[in-house]
């Protein structure tokens, strides 16, 4: 009898895990992906939508297309996890499983400043595009409202892309761009090599960086930090605060701060041996960055761990605690590589270096997008 593997979330982690399970185990498993949305969105491309390099329909694929790979898809809102019963409640009824993989991502909370936007959603990307169409030269501020948000480099990329867009429009000399962050230096958590490289790019672009800026309040064209510093703006691009997915943080899986407690070696729940949690739902609690490349490796690895349970030997991919993330600054790009082995083990900071830099690096990001869609859908 085939084992039932239920995957919650049709983002990168979910579709990668599903594809890998079918690739390794074939007819030994019945794989079902559940997501409230009908389509998978390549979230990393939302800023490209904001700056006119992509349209919304170009960065999405219908999740029902997974069925040609032998993967079932159910469009439904997940309402409750009931791990003691091996069951999940959805708006379309109860689902049972032999194995559960939770990849529901992080949940954006309300913006702490009225009128702010961020181009990491359809609404935010289109709002920024409209702002760019309207602008005649203004004070732009990019900021982060909490320490936990998906893709740590993203605000710095947007600040760099904004500089490039305003130059193309001939408005850069009539505009100012500033970025604020809780860290004392750009991407300080990735170490001095990466931080220095990003600082040089921001300096070259004339983007002011305001570090150790803990946002306490904002509105009416001003944001204020806990230490009393203020920044004035006409347009505020603000990353909202995030939390673990609500369904997860209100479930028996939730641990301290809402993050599920899992083994850092296998991502298997410490409470339920047939449940795995990957991606932004759990990574901040493991000292892993909430980034797409990390959940990519986790998805492949977890598929192998499940296969090992069923076949008695590990036959999948090893988990690779190394992240490579192409940072696109519009007319420049950086490809860093970070090894998070020590950070995952609680022994210290990641070891990071710059693998490549230049405009040609941007092409690699676009090629990855194409490969991602072609391989998984």
Domain locations in the chain as residue ranges: 3-107+243-311, 110-240+322-376
Matching CATH topology for 3-107+243-311 and 110-240+322-376? yes
- 34 to 14, 42, 64, 91: CA distances (angstroms): 9, 17, 11, 11
pLDDT over 80 at 355, yes or no = yes
Q: Is 323 helix (H, G, I), strand (E, B) or coil?
A: strand
Q: What is the mean pLDDT of residues 237-246?
A: 91
Phi, psi values for residue 347, rounded to 5°: -100, -5
The reported pLDDT for the residue numbered 374 is: 86
pLDDT over 80 at 340, yes or no = yes
Residues near 251 by Cβ (< 8 Å), separated by ≥ 6?
80, 81, 83
Question: For 285-310, what is each residue's pLDDT tens digit?
Answer: 888 888 888 889 999 999 999 999 99
Nearest 5°: the CA angle 372, 54, 195 is: 75
pLDDT over 70 at 79, yes or no = yes
316: confidence class by pLDDT, cuts 50, 70, 90: low
What whole-number distance in Å separates Cα of residue 302 and Cα of residue 110?
32
Which ranges of the chain would DSSP assign to H, the alpha helix? 12-25, 46-50, 122-134, 154-168, 192-205, 246-249, 292-311, 341-344, 359-376
Q: Which fold has domain 110-240+322-376?
A: FAD/NAD(P)-binding domain (3.50.50)
Take residue 222 and report the two structure tokens written for it. Answer: 């001003």
Q: What is the mean pLDDT of residues 326-335?
A: 90
The reported pLDDT for the residue numbered 348 is: 79
- 10 Å Cβ neighbour count for 84? 9
The reported pLDDT for the residue numbered 317 is: 67
CA atoms within 13 A on the CB side of 266: 16
Take residue 29 and report the two structure tokens written for it. Answer: 């498993």
Question: For 200-223, what is each residue's pLDDT tens digit?
Answer: 999 999 999 999 999 999 999 999
CB 40 within 8 A of CB 15: yes
The reported pLDDT for the residue numbered 243 is: 87
360: confidence class by pLDDT, cuts 50, 70, 90: confident
Q: Is 313 helix (H, G, I), strand (E, B) or coil?
A: coil
61: confidence class by pLDDT, cuts 50, 70, 90: very high
Q: Which CATH class is domain 3-107+243-311?
A: alpha beta
């Amino acid at each position: 009898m085939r084992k039932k593997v239920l995957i919650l979330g049709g983002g990168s982690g979910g579709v990668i895990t599903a594809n890998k399970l079918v690739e390794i185990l074939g007819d030994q498993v019945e794989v079902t992906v559940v997501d409230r949305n009908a389509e998978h969105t390549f979230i990393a491309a939302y800023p490209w939508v904001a700056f006119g390099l992509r349209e919304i329909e170009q960065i999405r694929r219908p999740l029902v297309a997974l069925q040609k790979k032998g993967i079932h898809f159910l469009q439904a809102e997940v309402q409750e996890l009931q791990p003691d019963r091996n069951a999940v409640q959805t708006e379309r009824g109860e689902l049972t499983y032999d194995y559960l993989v939770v990849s529901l991502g992080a949940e954006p909370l309300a913006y702490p400043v009225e009128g702010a936007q961020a181009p990491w959603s359809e609404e935010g990307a289109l709002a920024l595009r409209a702002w760019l169409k309207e602008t005649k030269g203004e004070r732009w501020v990019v900021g982060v409202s909490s320490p936990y948000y998906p893709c740590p480099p993203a605000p710095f990329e947007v600040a760099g892309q904004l500089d490039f867009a305003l130059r193309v429009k001939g408005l850069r000399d009539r505009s100012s761009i500033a970025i604020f962050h809780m860290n004392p230096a750009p991407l300080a958590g990735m170490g001095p090599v990466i931080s220095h490289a990003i600082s040089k790019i921001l300096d070259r672009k004339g983007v002011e960086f305001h570090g150790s800026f803990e946002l306490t309040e904002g509105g009416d064209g001003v944001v204020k930090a806990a230490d009393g510093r203020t920044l004035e703006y006409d347009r505020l691009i603000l990353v909202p605060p995030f939390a673990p997915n609500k369904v997860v943080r209100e479930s028996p899986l939730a641990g301290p701060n809402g993050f599920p407690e899992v083994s850092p070696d296998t991502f298997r729940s410490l409470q339920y041996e047939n449940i795995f949690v990957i991606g932004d739902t759990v990574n901040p609690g493991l000292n892993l960055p909430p980034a797409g490349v990390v959940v990519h490796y986790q998805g492949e690895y977890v598929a192998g761990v499940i296969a090992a349970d069923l076949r008695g030997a590990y036959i999948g991919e090893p988990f690779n605690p190394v992240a490579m993330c192409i940072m696109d600054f519009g007319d420049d790009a950086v490809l860093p590589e970070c090894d998070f082995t020590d950070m995952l083990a609680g022994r210290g900071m990641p070891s990071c270096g710059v693998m490549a830099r230049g405009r040609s690096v941007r092409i690699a990001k676009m090629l990855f997008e194409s490969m991602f869609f072609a391989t998984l859908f």
